[in-house]
Amino acid sequence: MAPVKISHVVSFSSQDPRYPVENLLNPDSQGGPWLSCPKDKSGQLKVELQLERAVPIGYIDVGNCGCAFLQIDVGRSSWSLDRPFVTLLPATMLMSLADSKQGKNRSGVRMFKDGKEGKSENGERENEKESCSIIEGCKSW
């Protein structure tokens, strides 16, 4: 199955003006990663993305830039506002505590496929909204 593009950013919690959330829309650009605002000391980021269409999500490739943990939840635009997203990828460690404290292995790509981490709990195989919750390395440990 071909990759599905992100249509737009619905909402986000923080961004560095030099590395804005819009960098997620075109991962092939030279714009760099999406990073939190340097003044944001929470150590957590959240983004809600709208995909170009509803699709079964069989795999997700995640480029990492200093993220210690990642959780991905999915949903549908047609759902009522009070219906929560469901977990596609449970909170997953992308960096160890030692790597985070030493600033090692801060970047890389992790691939998650259906059958391991990739099964959503909602029973619906097609989703077009993603919510990513991120805990940055070291700030929050």
In a domain, 86, yes or no: yes
Residue 20 domain-assigned (yes or no): no
Residue 107 lies in a domain: yes
pLDDT in tens, 58-93: 888 888 888 889 999 999 988 898 999 999 999 999
Range of the domain at 88: 6-10+48-118+125-139
User: Is residue 122 over pLDDT 70?
Assistant: no
Residue 83: give its domain's CATH number: 2.60.120.260
Domain-embedded: residue 99 = yes
Tell me whether residue 93 is in a domain.
yes
pLDDT at position 140, please?
A: 47
Residue 83 domain-assigned (yes or no):
yes
Q: How many structural domains does the chain have? A: 1
**Across 33-43, average pLDDT:** 90
Say how far apart CA 117 and CA 134 lie, in whole Å.
16
Full-model pTM: 0.82
DSSP 17-85: TTB-GGGGG-TTSSS------TT--S-EEEEEEEEEEEEE--EEEEEEESEEEEEEEEE-TTS-TTSPP
Give the separation between CA 41 and CA 139, rounded to whole angstroms.
Answer: 7
